[in-house]
Every structure is written in C-alpha cells, then in structure tokens.
Amino acid sequence: RVLRTWGESESGLNERLDGVIAQLESVGTPTLAFLASGWEGLKVRLTAKASSATECAAQLDVWDARVRGELGDLVFGVGEDTMESVVLELCRKRGLTLGLAESVTGGLVGARLTSVPGASEVLRGAIVSYTTEVKQKLLDVSQGPVVSETAAREMAAGARERLGADIGMSLTGVAGPTEQDGQLVGTLFVGLCGPGFDAVHEVRLPGQREQMRQLAVITALGMLRQLLIDT
C-alpha cells in the first residue's frame, strides 16, 4: 500500500516515523520504505507478507492507521491518488470553481488538472501570464516587481475575477538560471483568494529549472488542499 505525502522531506518523514519504523522492525512485517517521486509526492510504501490476501490487508490497515496517526494531513492520498485529483475532488464536494494565473509554471498546473477526468466541473481556466505586460494588462497587476507577494496576490484576484471562479490561484517565481526582481532561483510565491480567505505563501524550492517548476505545481496545489481542509 502506497501512501502519498507532501510537505515534508524524506529525512523529516523518517524522523516523524522513527517510532513506527522501530515497531515494524521488531515484528518483521509489513516493511516500510520511502520513494521520492517529484510532483507525484513523497511515497511511503508498506509491504506486507502473509499466508492470504486477507491477512495482508489486515496488517496494512493497522500500520496504515499508525503511519497516518504520525503524519496527519501530510498524507494527501493513497495508491493512484494525485494531488491534482484530490484538490479537484475537494473543490467538487464544496461546489467551488477554480481559476489559475500561472507565470513560472507556464501552464503546468492547468495541464496537470485537466489530465484528470471531470476537471471541467471545477477548473474554469488558466491565464498563462508569463510576461510582465500580460500580468498588468490581463490581471491588473500593478507596477513593480512581478516576483513578489503583492504580484501573487493581485494575480490570484485577477484570475478569480477574469475567469469567474470561486477561487483564484497564482504562481509567480524564479526557475532560473538567474535571479529575478532580487529573488533567488527557486523562489515561489503562491497566491490564493476565495470565499473567506486571501493569502500568499512564499517558499524556496530546490533543483534545476524543470525540477523547480514541477515541484512548484504540487507545492501550490498542496497549499490549496490544506486551505480547503482548514476552512
């Protein structure tokens, strides 16, 4: 059984699960392993051995619950779940629509969301506002640095208004190879606005250009997921 997580490093997960891992080593089965899978998340794989599938499932149920008890909301799905499918389902259950404004990711968030069947029930559209001029003309972003908290907030609000969505989400950042607007490579600002919330999150992501862009996708969607859970 594969539990999908996001929001903690492999070493961080290992530390959180120290007690569970020690218990598993004492009983022998199931075994636990980590697998870093980029924008598919960081996977925690439980593998059981027993004389029947029923016994295996029973083992997995017990240790699945113990792992979730330690990791909490870091676990976003199981098996074939993806962050985008989980976010779409959360929005669908609440009757909320989503509009995107993407800069650094160049449309990757929209592409991931639209790969999920039924995404049109939630996703209104995406504005790939890659240049400063497009941000200002289409999203009413004000003069000044476009890799900033202010720009991210204005992009999210602009996407929400222009696309007629309940939620606006924006991504602006620096994928490299050089700094922009005084921000280091790997910087990401995510803007989120909707019923009862208006927030901007800043994070620093690792990796070269393409890895940073991919991690930006799951990071932003993970922030939206957490917001939907909390509000």
Please indicate, yes or no, whether the overall pTM of this predicted structure exceeds 0.75: yes
Whether 231 has a pLDDT exceeding 90, the answer reads no
Q: Residue 108 in contact with residue 215, Cβ under 8 Å? A: no
Q: What is the mean pLDDT of the chain?
A: 96
Beta strands 31-36 and 75-78, pairing class: unpaired
Q: Which tens digits make up the pLDDT trace of 108-163?
A: 999 999 999 999 999 999 999 999 999 999 999 999 999 999 999 999 999 999 99
Buried b (16+ CB within 10 A) or exposed e, 13-43: beebbeebeeebeeeeebebebeeeebbbbb
Q: Say what the pLDDT of residue 39 is.
A: 95
pLDDT for res 117: 97
pLDDT tens digits, 146-159? 999 999 999 999 99
**What pLDDT was estimated at residue 136?**
97
Residue of 229, 178, 184, 176 whose CA lies nearest to 202: 184
> How far apart (Å, rounded) are the C-alpha atoms in residues 66 and 72?
10
The answer, yes or no, to whether residue 205 has pLDDT greater than 90, is yes
Strand partners, 123: 98
Whether residue 130 contacts residue 105, with contact meaning beta carbons closer than 8 Å, is answered with no
Q: Which pair of structure tokens corresponds to residue 38?
A: 């980029």
- Which pLDDT value is given to residue 77? 97
